[in-house]
């Protein structure tokens, strides 16, 4: 018995040592592919401690008042312009992109893990991207000519104001997150950006003609006729760019304004890639008053869509026309109870999300080390359940659209109010609660055992292949 106890102790010590050996600030768990000689991703983590006071020119664009459907376009354009110089370097001159020098930073714990074969959930080494949506059906974009399904890869940066919060949560070592109701909150003027690239180029999707292409070393690619069995050097193409800002003056009900840009080959003849990233829309609330599912196109007061945006960008808007970009997975196959004696109604590509509804689920329960509610409305927040497939198509069990449980995702809460009582609100930071914290937990608290959230993409789809355990 003594011998067994010693072995158990040694095993625990080894596991702890292995966890301690993992670098939270690792760029990627994969080296660049053999023969690759281009620039590689370098995680920016010298988080500032002092809060910078941003100029916030986007407020001036709406005369320092509140954002409305009448002025949201001007606000979004001013927000886009404020980061244009940096984004042009990142997108067009990556070899000279130094994020830290320009005041942009990344979350830790997404470049390495103690869990084997988790490459799909982690950063790839060339640009630091990770899976957004594992597979978006080509039928979603049939009108714009998409010929194959796509996988989206995303990359998130925090500006120097937002990065102060990363410092409060992670500190200098990122070994033990400081999670309190105060530490997770962003300062006014914090800007967070996310670029979304796809695995289909212009030969498979004509609307991507002329967009920027980035190399990626990835193991999930729905565009290929057969799923890859190992990471491969892959061309990816810029489709979407999100900019969100903490602005309680402009958006007092939630404290945030979400904007989405999409690539438009028709825009700005002679302009560069940033000129061709056209505002799709803006969202500063969840429009909880628009709750009747019988009204398919309700009048929205906290969402604005650009009528001049390319049609493919509007093909996958969220519930009732709320803002959601093509990357965001707001249309899903859902099954929900209907009638007095409830039977399941199946909705293929049903609208069940939006930018802010998804991000409002950003929270962390420190007792259970989990997000109590998923990004999308589901019947049982503790797990993602699916009924038997219908004609070979999988569906997710969902509350009835417009029901009290469904509307839990479509409320106007500020970033310091968690969706579920007992949790710490993440101030709309989904990277923290959906990516970084699960990876941290798996690597330090349960070495070798994947957190449940590591197995899913943002649509609740289980990541393909051996990487999903």
pLDDT, residue 51, reads: 76
Q: Please check the confidence at residue 464 and state whether its pLDDT lies above 70.
A: no
Question: What is residue 20's predicted lDDT score, i.e. its pLDDT?
Answer: 65
Would you say residue 406 has pLDDT above 60? yes
Confidence of residue 17 (pLDDT cuts 50, 70, 90): low
Beta strands at 256-263 and 232-246: parallel, antiparallel or unpaired: antiparallel
pLDDT of 68 strictly over 80: yes
Q: Which residues contact 203 (CB under 8 A, 6 or more apart)?
A: none
Half-sphere exposure of residue 436: CA atoms within 13 angstroms, side-chain side:
25
SS3 per-residue string spanning the chain: CHHHHHHHHHHHHHHHHHHHHCCCCCCCCCCCCCCCCCCCCCCCCCCCCCCCCCCCHHHHCCCCCCCCCCCHHHHHHHHHHHCHHHHHHHHHCHHHCCCCCCCEECCCCCCCCCCCCCHHHCCCCCCCCEECCCCECHHHHHHHCCCCCECEEEEEEEECCCHHHHHHHHCCCCCCCCCCCCCCCCCCCCEEEEEEEECCCCCCCHHHCCCCEEEEEECCCCCCCCCCCCCEEEEEEEEEEEEEEECCCCCCCCCEEEEEEEECCCCCCCCCCCCCEEEEEEECCCCCCCCCCCCCCCCCCCEEECCCCCHHHHCCCCHHHCCCCCCCCCEEEEEEEECCCCEEEEEEEEECCCHHHHHCCCEEECCCCECCCCCCCCCCCCCCCCCCCECCECCEECCCCCCHHHHCCCCCCCCCCCCCCCCEECCCCHHHHHHHHHHHHHHHCCCCCCCHHHHECCCCCECCHHHCC
| pLDDT range class, residue 115, cuts 50, 70, 90 | confident
**Per-residue pLDDT tens over the stretch 232-261:** 999 999 999 999 999 999 999 999 999 999
Residues 290-310, mean pLDDT to the nearest whole number: 97
Residue positions counted in the chain? 469
| 3-state secondary structure labels for all residues of 423-441 | CEECCCCHHHHHHHHHHHH
54 near 161, Cβ under 8 Å?
Answer: yes
Is 60 exceeded by the pLDDT of residue 11? no
Across all residues in the chain, what is the average pLDDT? 92
Q: Would you place residue 14 in the very low, low, confident or very high pLDDT band (cuts 50, 70, 90)?
A: very low
Measured CA angle at 200 (ends 196, 203), to 5 deg: 135
Condensed to tens digits (0 to 9), the pLDDT of residues 194-232 reads: 999 999 999 999 999 999 999 999 999 999 999 888 899
pLDDT at 341: 84
Is residue 113 over pLDDT 80? yes
Measured between alpha carbons, how far is 373 from 419 in angstroms, rounded to an integer? 8
Q: How far apart are CA 266 and CA 216, in angstroms?
A: 26
Cα 465–Cα 468–Cα 469 angle in degrees, nearest 5: 120
pLDDT above 70: residue 12? no
Q: Please list, in sequence order, all residues whose beta carbon lies within 8 angstroms of the beta carbon of residue 250, skipping any fewer than 6 positions away.
A: 58, 59, 62, 65, 66, 67, 75, 257, 284
Q: What percent of the chain is modeled with pLDDT above 90?
A: 83
177: which 2 tokens?
Answer: 């997150």
Task: Give the CA distances from residue 238 to residues 106, 261, 303, in Å, rounded to whole numbers and listed in that order.
Answer: 19, 11, 24
- Which residues in 372-409 are b (16+ Cβ under 10 Å) and which e? bbbbbbbbebeebeeeeeeeeeebbbbbbbbeeebbbb
Q: Using CB atoms within 10 Å of the CB of residue 52, give its burial: 0 to 12 exposed, 13 to 18 middle, 19+ buried.
A: middle
Is the pLDDT at 8 greater than 50? The verdict is no
Q: Which residue has the higher pLDDT, 446 or 51?
A: 446
Residue where the block lists tokens 């009924």 = 387
- pLDDT value of residue 369: 95
Task: Quote the Cα angle for 420-424-426, to 5°.
Answer: 100
Contacts of 280 (CB under 8 A, 6+ apart): 240, 260, 261, 262, 305, 306, 309, 313, 314, 323, 325
Average pLDDT over residues 445-464: 87
């Amino acid at each position: 018995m003594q011998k067994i106890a010693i072995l158990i102790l040694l095993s625990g010590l080894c596991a702890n040592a292995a966890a301690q050996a993992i670098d939270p600030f690792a760029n990627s768990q994969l080296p660049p592919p053999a023969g690759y000689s281009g620039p590689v991703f370098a995680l920016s983590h010298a988080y500032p401690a002092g809060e910078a006071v941003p100029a916030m020119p986007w407020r001036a664009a709406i005369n320092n008042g509140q954002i409305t459907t009448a002025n949201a376009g001007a606000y979004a354009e001013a927000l886009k312009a404020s980061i244009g110089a940096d984004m042009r370097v990142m997108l067009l001159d990556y070899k000279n992109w130094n994020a830290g020098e320009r005041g942009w930073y990344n979350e830790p714990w997404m470049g390495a893990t103690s869990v084997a074969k988790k490459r799909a959930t982690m950063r790839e080494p060339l640009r630091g991207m990770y899976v957004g949506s594992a597979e978006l059906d080509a039928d979603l974009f049939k009108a714009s000519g998409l010929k194959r399904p796509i996988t989206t890869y995303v990359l998130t940066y925090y500006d120097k104001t937002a990065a102060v919060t990363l410092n409060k949560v992670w500190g200098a070592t990122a070994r033990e997150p400081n999670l309190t109701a105060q530490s997770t909150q962003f300062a006014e003027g914090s800007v967070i950006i996310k670029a979304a690239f796809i695995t289909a180029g212009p030969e498979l999707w004509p609307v991507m003609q002329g967009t920027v292409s980035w190399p990626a070393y990835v193991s999930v690619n729905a565009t290929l006729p057969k799923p890859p069995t190992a990471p491969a050097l892959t061309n990816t193409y810029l489709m979407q760019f999100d900019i969100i800002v903490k602005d309680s003056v402009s958006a007092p009900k939630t404290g945030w304004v979400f904007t989405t840009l999409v690539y438009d080959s028709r825009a700005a003849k002679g302009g560069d890639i940033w000129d061709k990233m056209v505002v799709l829309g803006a969202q500063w609330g969840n429009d909880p008053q628009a709750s009747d599912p019988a009204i398919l196109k309700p009048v929205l007061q906290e969402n604005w869509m650009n009528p001049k945006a390319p049609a493919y960008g509007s093909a996958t808007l969220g519930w009732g026309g709320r803002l959601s970009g093509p990357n965001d997975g707001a249309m899903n196959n859902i099954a929900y109870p209907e009638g007095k004696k409830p039977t399941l109604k199946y909705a293929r590509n049903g609208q069940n999300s939006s930018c802010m509804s998804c991000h409002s689920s950003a929270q962390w329960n420190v007792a259970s080390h989990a997000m109590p509610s998923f990004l999308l409305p589901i019947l049982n927040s503790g797990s993602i359940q699916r009924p038997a497939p219908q004609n070979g198509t999988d569906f997710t069990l969902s509350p009835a659209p417009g029901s009290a449980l469904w509307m839990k995702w479509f409320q106007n809460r500020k970033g310091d109010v968690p969706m579920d009582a007992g949790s710490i609100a993440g101030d709309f930071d989904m990277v923290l609660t959906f990516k970084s914290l699960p990876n941290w937990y798996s690597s330090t608290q349960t070495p070798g055992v994947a957190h449940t959230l590591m197995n899913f993409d943002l649509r609740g789809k289980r990541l393909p292949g051996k990487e999903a355990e």
